Structure 1
Amino acid sequence: MTETAVCVGTFTAVKTLWEVRIHKINEELQKEKEFRQRLLLVWEERAALAKLKEKVINKDGRAILRIEEEEWKTLPSCLLKLVHLQEWQLHRTSLQKIPQFIGRFHNLVVLDLSRNSIESVPKEIGQLTNLQELLLSYNRIKSVPKEISNCVSLERLELAVNRSICDLPPQLSDLKKLSHVDLCMNQFTTIPSALLNMPNLEWLDMGGNKLQELPDAIDR
């Protein structure tokens, strides 16, 4: 009985030792895997940043990021290394989402993301107080955030051919410099009140909507 107990005890001790060793090996393998993943991510970001830098041009003293007909469904965070950019021109890139970090590009004067697959506009866009042109035509945007009213320098707003927008936030009437608005080919049934209260609005296109009536204030 004693010998049996000793054997069982020895087996249990060996089993425990092996379990500890296996657990330690698994931990080391997991750490190595995570390290390789981090290393791969670093290299991917460096490669993406290098590729983005190749797309930056300087025209009339303005730093412009220009990408056309390339697959960029999302924009990498390494783009924050280029916060000095004053203009984005991204066309036909299949971009699905405007990154939330867009608000950190305080030098942006023109944001042209026309002809992509964007479905929404982040509220952080309201942090772009120097933005003069916001061009988002030919996307899949369904609504417009009220935070755009904080883009106090905005002069041109284009949301044509999104096909689903049916209203604008009343706060947009605070855009005192806005003079050009293109809302054609959407789902508007009337002219938004925000537009009727814009003091400098000179050009408005709402063709291809479902306008049923014109407000009396349109005569102003």
Structure 2
Amino acid sequence: MTLERKVHVPAYDVLAVRSLWEVRVKKQQQRQRKEHERKERSALAKIEQQWQYRIYCKTASPPRTHHGTHAGDGEVDESSFLLAERPCGEDPDASDGDKKLVFQLDGRQWKDFPRELQWMTYLREWHVTSTQIQKLPDYLSSFTLLTVLDLPKNALTELPPDIGEMRLVVFLGVPTFNQAPSPGKLAALRELNVSFNRLRGVPAQLGDCQNLERLELAGNANLCQLPFELSALKKLRHLDVAQNNMASIPICALRMSNLQLLDLSHNRLSDLPQDMDRLQQLQTLLVHKNKLTYVPQCLANIPTLSMMVVSGEELVCIPTRLCSNPSIKFIRLYDSPASDKKEEEIHERGRGRGRWREEEEMMKDISEKEFMEVYVDTLKDREDVPYATTKVSISCLL
């Protein structure tokens, strides 16, 4: 006689197990988020920054400066490396009477950042100008207190993606979207200036720096578009993409609801989109030095628009409401044929030009841009503004 044993095989409901794990994962994410918020509210980080600042003041009471080193053959390198002290001014994160350290670097002899910079995470501003630096350091993302990143007239070819990288929780190989992603690494950044470099593109992660208020990308000849992710920059008020290679207005620019100044001059624009009236806060629009044939009627629907600068002999259609509206300073620039011919000749032999020629043209573009900015500023307080302004250029053959 054989005995039959009953084997009890447990039966599991896969959906119940999955829901149980999802609940546990959600609780774990909530605990992580609360811990992250607790650390952000904690005063430990601020105390550490204050101690780092005091240590610096003790060890280098005059501002630390390196300049005037000999480069050989009797030449003197005029490069400079300076840590300066400035009032925090309107910085909301600083207490009254507090001061911040500002990093300044300029000079053609600099090809990389000083090594000791990586430990100065208490800095609030970087000002790097006229160097040969081609790449930003990997430790840039650790400067979480950085509010101003001023990098014009260098040789930068790219911006690091982790400038605003958002962290996403991954569970069992599958990203979870229950938790809102944390802010970008440079979440405090308010101003970014990378004008007159060699950028070919802008990382999409820059859209994670949602406190950005001013973005300057002028003078990057190979820059032809911006990622759509920059639409998340809802606090951006100043966007400068002049002197680039853009054939159309970036779509992301039309999604920046608080934009007040848009500079698209010196590009290859042939038309303006019909939905530009989405920019209901726009005050200044600079679209001169393009290939525009008409100005859309929708611009007259922007109630805040007070300054518009266009140019070109090809313009055949301009809304009367823009020209005759006393609240809008409409300026049309007429470029002389001599200057146009000269620019075409420079463009044709652009591939064979040397470094000195590039620098000469860059300085010319900068001077023209500064002149235009001064000219526009002088017109802001005037009641009557000339409809047309003639730009005259004189060329001499020696």
Q: Same fold (TM over 0.5)?
A: yes
**Partner in structure 2 of residue 178 of structure 1:** 236
**Partner in structure 2 of residue 15 of structure 1:** none
- Equivalences for 1:199-214 in 2 at 5 Å? 199-214=257-272
| Contact map agreement 1:83 1:107 (CA 8 A) in 2 | yes
**Partner in structure 1 of residue 152 of structure 2:** 114
Count of paired positions? 172
Name the SS for the 1:67 alignment partner.
strand
- The counterpart of 2:124, out of the listed 86, 89, 99, is 86
**Partner in structure 2 of residue 57 of structure 1:** 84
| Contact map agreement 2:134 2:156 (CA 8 A) in 1 | yes
- The counterpart of 2:227, out of the listed 166, 169, 176, is 169
Which shifted more, 62-71 or 82-91? 62-71
Query: Which structure is richer in relative contact order (CA contacts within 8 A, separation 6 or more)?
Result: 1
Query: What letter corresponds to residue 175 of structure 1 in structure 2?
Result: L
Q: Shift of residue 54 of structure 1?
A: 6.1
Query: What letter corresponds to residue 84 of structure 1 in structure 2?
Result: Y
| Contact map agreement 1:123 1:147 (CA 8 A) in 2 | yes
Q: Percent identity?
A: 38
Name the SS for the 1:59 alignment partner.
strand
Q: Shift of residue 97 of structure 1?
A: 0.8
| Contact map agreement 1:112 1:133 (CA 8 A) in 2 | yes
Q: Shift of residue 195 of structure 1?
A: 0.5
TM-score, normalised to structure 1's length? Answer: 0.74
More helix by share: 1
- The counterpart of 1:138, out of the listed 183, 196, 211, is 196
TM-score, normalised to structure 2's length? Answer: 0.42
Q: Distance in 1 between matches of 2:206 and 2:212?
A: 9
What are the ranges of 5 or more consecutive residues in structure 1 without an aligned counterpart?
Answer: 1-48
| 1:102 correspondence with 2:140 | yes
Q: Distance in 2 between matches of 1:181 and 1:150?
A: 16
**Partner in structure 1 of residue 355 of structure 2:** none
Name the SS for the 1:89 alignment partner.
strand
1:48-98 CA-to-partner distances (Å, cap 9, x unmatched) read x98599611011122100122252212244321111100000101111111
Q: Shift of residue 124 of structure 1?
A: 1.5
Query: What letter corresponds to residue 202 of structure 2 in structure 1?
Result: V
Query: What letter corresponds to residue 84 of structure 2 in structure 1?
Result: I
- The counterpart of 2:253, out of the listed 195, 200, 208, is 195
Query: What letter corresponds to residue 106 of structure 2 in structure 1?
Result: E
Q: Distance in 2 between matches of 1:105 and 1:64?
A: 12
- The counterpart of 1:128, out of the listed 172, 186, 192, is 186
| Contact map agreement 2:81 2:105 (CA 8 A) in 1 | no
Superposition RMSD on alpha carbons, in Å? Answer: 1.9
Name the SS for the 1:55 alignment partner.
strand
Name the SS for the 1:172 alignment partner.
helix
Q: Distance in 1 between matches of 2:222 and 2:246?
A: 9
| Contact map agreement 1:101 1:124 (CA 8 A) in 2 | no
1:100-151 CA-to-partner distances (Å, cap 9, x unmatched) read 2111110100000101011111112112100000000010001000010111
Q: Distance in 1 between matches of 2:115 and 2:82?
A: 16
| Contact map agreement 1:121 1:145 (CA 8 A) in 2 | yes
Query: What letter corresponds to residue 107 of structure 1 in structure 2?
Result: L
| Contact map agreement 1:184 1:208 (CA 8 A) in 2 | yes
Q: Distance in 2 between matches of 1:102 and 1:179?
A: 24
- Equivalences for 1:9-88 in 2 at 5 Å? 55-60=82-87, 61-88=99-126
What are the ranges of 5 or more consecutive residues in structure 2 without an aligned counterpart?
Answer: 1-63, 68-79, 88-98, 165-184, 279-398
